[in-house]
């Protein structure tokens, strides 16, 4: 280890409380310090080149080091580095981005509310849907139905929408009242005794049951990620979303798509709602809107909801200092322009995703892989002790974490969610780089299988 790396690790464990990190472990092991990124690769402080198959945290859609994004930020910082959009003020980047977002959004969306992150976007969703029903003279419509094992962010409200048991178990009054969680469409884990499409329908019916149980006059909205990301890349069976859409249409509730992961090209369309033919009322976004170069999030609001908020609502008493930050918006404009001009999303749909799918699915032949699933450029591997029955390794062996550590040593970032390994590579990944990813994934799986034998 270099002296510089050791120095950073010491300072880091002395002063820096990281998110989603066990600090006891971090101070023993020392963090891995990254210093550089280019294309789909990152470099650590010791100079190791690593293929970042997680796009940072599902966000660096255009890859690292894009000069047009850097220049857009520089130019905007020189012109107007900050001004707010409270109290009827605005600035060109936020205005222009609003128009661009409405052009690329699904039909019926012409308005955006900006936030600084995905969590704040989902907090905003809660406020907006409840305000919408209040303005419709139905203030008792308060309950938002979400799903177990969903991730919607880390603020108290967003973590309440989320169905992460570990987060709820750490106190803090999570979940807040009037949020309920129904089953997730996780076929591999929870539905293998049924055919996937039968399971998909049965899980969608949980929404209808929850509406009947609590009463339609109490339900404000249903929120879900088109594909659950942080929960382990849970790709719903084909029958799931059409049934959910029908239930939302038949009942008087709003449908909210959390597209923080699936937005901006991840599934080969601008939004995952298009991929799944979902017609949401609100879309939460963040991450890929700037390719993660600067923080920005928001809620796209369809005309049905926006018209009520505008015509009847008066002042919406909600907002953030960094709502529509001019530099973030300038970077988002450059990012969306590059995604469009370079045909990145069409290339994902027509070339990259089908190629990755072919190569990724071949990993299901590996002795410790129970399932390899993929949609667009987001994919998962289920690590299993018995691939036929899907029996897992003993939890105390933390095989997923072991596999993740071996992957990094092998020059590949893969994320572990329990014993599910997930990837979401930058959208610019080439076929040659996919071959490299798969070669590294195979050697990592071999090394994991060998290490498991020794336990």
Positions that interact with ligand PLP (CB under 6 A): 57, 117-119, 122, 151-153, 225, 229-230, 258, 260-261, 286, 297
Rounded to a whole number of angstroms, the minimum distance from the CB of residue 225 to ligand PLP is: 5
Q: How many CA atoms lie within 13 A of 265 on its CB side?
A: 33
Question: In angstroms, rounded to a whole number, what is the distance separating the alpha carbons of residues 49 and 408?
Answer: 10
Rounded to a whole number of angstroms, the minimum distance from the CB of residue 126 to ligand PLP is: 13
Question: In angstroms, rounded to a whole number, what is the distance separating the alpha carbons of residues 101 and 259?
Answer: 13
Question: In angstroms, rounded to a whole number, what is the distance separating the alpha carbons of residues 57 and 423?
Answer: 10
Rounded to a whole number of angstroms, the minimum distance from the CB of residue 315 to ligand PLP is: 25
Q: Which one, 297 or 370, has the nearer CB to ligand PLP?
A: 297
- Residue 149 tokens read as 């094992």
- Alpha-carbon distances of 18 from 23, 30, 157, 408, 436, rounded to whole Å: 8, 12, 21, 19, 31
CA torsion, points 423, 428, 433, 434, in degrees to nearest 10? 50
Pairing of strands 179-182, 143-147: parallel
Q: Which one, 158 or 402, has the nearer CB to ligand PLP?
A: 158
Element (H, E) at 195: none
Q: Which one, 128 or 286, has the nearer CB to ligand PLP?
A: 286
SS3 state of residue 6: helix
Q: Which one, 122 or 448, has the nearer CB to ligand PLP?
A: 122
Q: Which one, 56 or 191, has the nearer CB to ligand PLP?
A: 56
Rounded to a whole number of angstroms, the minimum distance from the CB of residue 316 to ligand PLP is: 20
Residue with tokens 């071999």: 446
Question: In angstroms, rounded to a whole number, what is the distance separating the alpha carbons of residues 223 and 246?
Answer: 15
Q: Which one, 112 or 230, has the nearer CB to ligand PLP?
A: 230
Residues whose CB falls within 8 Å of the CB of residue 316, separated by 6 or more in sequence, listed in order: 127, 128, 131, 309
Strands (E), 117-253: 143-147, 179-182, 219-224
Rounded to a whole number of angstroms, the minimum distance from the CB of residue 115 to ligand PLP is: 9
Q: Which one, 105 or 290, has the nearer CB to ligand PLP?
A: 290
Element (H, E) at 148: none
Rounded to a whole number of angstroms, the minimum distance from the CB of residue 140 to ligand PLP is: 27
Q: Which residue is nearest to ligand PLP (CB)?
A: 118
Rounded to a whole number of angstroms, the minimum distance from the CB of residue 327 to ligand PLP is: 17
Q: Which one, 55 or 85, has the nearer CB to ligand PLP?
A: 55
Rounded to a whole number of angstroms, the minimum distance from the CB of residue 425 to ligand PLP is: 16
């Amino acid at each position: 280890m270099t002296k510089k790396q050791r120095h950073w690790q010491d300072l880091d464990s002395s002063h820096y409380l990281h998110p989603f990190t066990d600090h006891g472990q971090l101070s023993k092991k020392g963090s891995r310090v990254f210093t550089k990124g280019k294309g789909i690769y990152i470099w650590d402080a010791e100079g190791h080149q690593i293929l970042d198959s997680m796009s940072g945290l599902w966000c660096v859609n255009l890859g690292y080091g894009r000069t047009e994004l850097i220049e857009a930020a520089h130019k905007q910082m020189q012109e107007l580095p900050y001004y707010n959009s409270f109290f009827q003020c605005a600035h060109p980047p936020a205005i222009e981005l609003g128009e661009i977002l409405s052009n690329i959004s699904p039909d019926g969306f012409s308005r955006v509310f900006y936030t600084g992150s995905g969590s704040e976007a989902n907090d905003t969703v809660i406020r907006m849907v409840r305000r919408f029903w209040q303005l419709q003279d139905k203030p008792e419509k308060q309950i938002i139905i979400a799903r177990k094992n969903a991730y919607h962010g880390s603020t108290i409200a967003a973590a309440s929408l989320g169905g992460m048991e570990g987060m709820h178990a750490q106190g803090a009054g999570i979940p807040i009242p009037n949020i309920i969680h129904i089953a997730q469409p996780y076929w591999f884990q929870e539905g293998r005794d049924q055919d996937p499409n039968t399971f998909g329908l049965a899980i969608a019916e949980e929404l209808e049951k929850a509406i009947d149980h609590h009463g339609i006059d109490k339900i404000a909205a249903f929120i879900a990620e088109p594909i659950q990301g942080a929960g382990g890349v849970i790709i719903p069976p084909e029958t799931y979303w059409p049934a959910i859409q029908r239930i939302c249409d038949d009942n008087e509730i709003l449908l909210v798509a959390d597209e923080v992961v699936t937005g901006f090209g991840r599934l080969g369309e601008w939004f995952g709602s298009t991929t799944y033919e979902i017609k949401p009322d609100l879309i939460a976004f963040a991450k890929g809107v700037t390719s993660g170069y600067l923080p920005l999030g928001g809620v796209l609001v369809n005309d049905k909801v926006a018209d009520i908020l505008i015509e009847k609502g008066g002042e919406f008493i909600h907002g953030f200092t960094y709502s529509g930050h001019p530099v973030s918006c300038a970077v988002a404009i450059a990012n969306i322009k590059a995604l469009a001009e370079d045909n990145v999303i069409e290339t994902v749909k027509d070339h990259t995703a089908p190629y990755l799918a072919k190569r990724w699915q071949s990993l299901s032949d590996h002795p410790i892989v129970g399932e390899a699933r993929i949609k667009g450029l987001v994919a998962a591997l289920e690590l299993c002790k018995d691939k036929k029955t899907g029996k897992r390794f003993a939890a105390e062996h933390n095989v997923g974490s072991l596999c993740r550590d071996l992957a990094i040593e092998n020059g590949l970032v893969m994320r572990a969610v329990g014993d599910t390994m997930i990837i979401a590579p930058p959208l610019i990944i080439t076929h040659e780089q996919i071959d490299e990813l798969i070669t590294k994934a195979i050697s990592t799986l071999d090394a994991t299988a060998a290490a498991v034998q020794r336990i």
